[in-house]
Amino acid sequence: MTKKKSLTGKSISDLDELIENIIVDAYNTDEQLWAFSQVIEDEIELPADAFVIGEPVAVIDVDYDGNKQRGLTATCRCEDGSEHVVALFDVVFPQTFEGIRTMAAYRRWLNLEPWPDEGRNAKSKRKHKAKDEDIDLGRPADLAVLSLKEGTARCRLTEGQRELTLRSGELWDVVPGMVLTVSPKKHWRFNGHPYLSGEVQSARIDAEALNLIPLGLADRGTWNPNEAWRGDEDEPIDEWVLPIVTHGPRPMFEMEQILPDQDPSDSFNDPITKVIDLNSTGERAEAMMMLMDLCRKDMRCLDAHAHLGNLSFDHRPQEAIRHYEVGLRIGELSLGDGFIGVLPWGFIDNRPFLRCMHGYGLCLWRLNRFDEAEDIFHRILWLNPQDNQGVRFLCDEVKNKTAWENWKLE
């Protein structure tokens, strides 16, 4: 008699026989769950590697707490050391796991697919293998960070457009838009998505390595300093204005603004406005998640970098400065060397870039990097001479190396 096969090619008859052996002396659901629990305890060595919702975990215990609706539970330890209890049927074990037949039998007893991670056919597996050939575990890989979440980083290989999820314990000082050089340790795939674990050798801000298409610059005519400062004997021109006036008229531009998920028909219902509203009501984590998602969808969303910096500015300037600088450097890709144009605040799409630059300058000041802060503030005045951000009132404080804390106390 031919054994009945599942879609994966494994013998259902063998599983049915195993189930009968496990529950032979168990006469109701409660007793049968205890029977499965006892077999797993006696015959399967833990901890064991597995996945829960695509995330790698170590299963350190399997138990039955008497809840028949939930069934067996698994205590799982995540890579950050935290432990969580989940239903065992939510745990997916690799096919090399020694107890895979027992786990498959338990799932079959629950009327679930015995081998949940084998839904892909051979052709799909060959396709994934071909895609994975560009990850060489024997040499370092450069990854552009797209977003971060709970000890993982969604990344893109700098050579190409392939995305993967990096798991590492060395991501505490990393922000979206940075480039990581990683020494790979392990590479795997779950539900079609590639994962990589490894040691971060270096993390840097390198906008050119991101291989982005620079934001466009729209010509907005000519800016004439004589129209901004007509001269008044009673109000002499400030010292910082003189080189700007001396240079004369300059071309004006408006930088392209990228804002994924924006509804063109509703300008007041954009993602950044939602982020501000969430943060103002104390939902900071959700606001950060939205900003990370914007970065993942398009790294050129400068306002996402600016507002990520804003969320960290008050308590973690060392983190905030990285967010601001990434946005600044990505925007600079559009300017090139020797840019002499003006990016007025009055053109709304220039504001994300100017926000990044302003936040970066403030963080430099807070971190006592006075000379760099002074250079940035003067550059802001050169790009936006109308100074809608009030930088001109800070230049003397930075020039005199007044500590941020002392200035704030005045």
Query: pLDDT at position 191, please?
Result: 57
Half-sphere exposure of 165 (CA within 13 A, CB side): 17
| 188 shares its domain with 203 | yes
Residue ending a domain, choose from 163, 186, 210? 210
Buried-exposed string 240-252: b where 16+ CB fall within 10 A, e elsewhere: bbeebeeeeebeb
Q: Rounded to whole angstroms, how far apart are CA atoms 397 and 401?
A: 6
Residue 28 has pLDDT above 50, yes or no: yes
In a domain, 116, yes or no: no
Average pLDDT over residues 230-238: 63
Mean pLDDT of the chain: 85
Dihedral over Cα of 326, 331, 332, 333: its sign? positive
If one counts the domains in the chain, the total is 3
In a domain, 399, yes or no: yes
Q: Rounded to whole angstroms, how far apart are CA atoms 235 and 243?
A: 17
Dihedral over Cα of 180, 184, 185, 189: its sign? positive
In a domain, 162, yes or no: yes
Query: pLDDT at position 230, please?
Result: 65
Query: pLDDT at position 118, please?
Result: 43
Pinpoint the alpha helices (H) of 133-210. none
| 134 shares its domain with 234 | no
User: Amino acid identity, residue 303?
Assistant: D
Query: pLDDT at position 168, please?
Result: 86
Q: Rounded to whole angstroms, how far apart are CA atoms 300 and 294?
A: 9
| 228 shares its domain with 315 | yes
Average pLDDT over residues 212-221: 94
Q: Quick one: which H or E segment has residue 197?
A: strand 193-204
Query: pLDDT at position 227, please?
Result: 82
Average pLDDT over residues 399-407: 88
103-142 tens-digit pLDDT: 999 988 888 888 775 443 333 344 444 445 467 777 899 9
| 279 shares its domain with 397 | yes
Report the CATH number that the domain containing residue 325 is assigned in CATH. 1.25.40.10
| 75 shares its domain with 127 | no
Q: pLDDT band at 10, cuts 50/70/90?
A: low
Buried-exposed string 200-238: b where 16+ CB fall within 10 A, e elsewhere: beebebebeebebebbebeebeebebeeeeeeeeeeeee
Report the CATH number that the domain containing residue 127 is assigned in CATH. 2.40.50.500
In a domain, 6, yes or no: no
- Residue whose structure tokens are 């997916």: 92
| 175 shares its domain with 79 | no
Maximum mean pLDDT: which of 232-246, 256-270, 292-306: 292-306
| 371 shares its domain with 387 | yes
Do 104 and 92 form a contact (C-beta atoms < 8 A)? no
| 254 shares its domain with 318 | yes
Do 367 and 332 form a contact (C-beta atoms < 8 A)? no
| 287 shares its domain with 389 | yes
Query: pLDDT at position 125, please?
Result: 42
Residue ending a domain, choose from 176, 195, 210? 210
Report the CATH number that the domain containing residue 93 is assigned in CATH. 2.30.30
Which segment of 65-79, 216-230, 255-269 scores lowest on mean pLDDT?
Answer: 255-269
| 204 shares its domain with 104 | no
* Cα 226 off chain centre by: 46
Residue 181 has pLDDT above 50, yes or no: yes
| 203 shares its domain with 224 | no
**Which regions of 21-151 does DSSP assign to beta strands (E)?**
48-52, 55-63, 73-77, 83-87, 91-92, 141-149
Average pLDDT over residues 398-404: 92
Residue ending a domain, choose from 210, 225, 241? 210
In a domain, 2, yes or no: no
Range of the domain at 159: 122-210
Phi, psi of 107 (to 5 degrees): -65, -40
Phi, psi of 86 (to 5 degrees): -130, 165
Which segment of 16-30, 85-99, 158-172, 225-239 scores lowest on mean pLDDT?
Answer: 225-239
319-373 tens-digit pLDDT: 999 999 999 999 999 998 889 999 999 999 999 999 999 999 999 999 999 999 9
| 94 shares its domain with 228 | no
Do 144 and 210 form a contact (C-beta atoms < 8 A)? yes
Residue 291 has pLDDT above 70, yes or no: yes
pTM for the complete prediction?
A: 0.69
Share of the chain above pLDDT 90, in %: 50
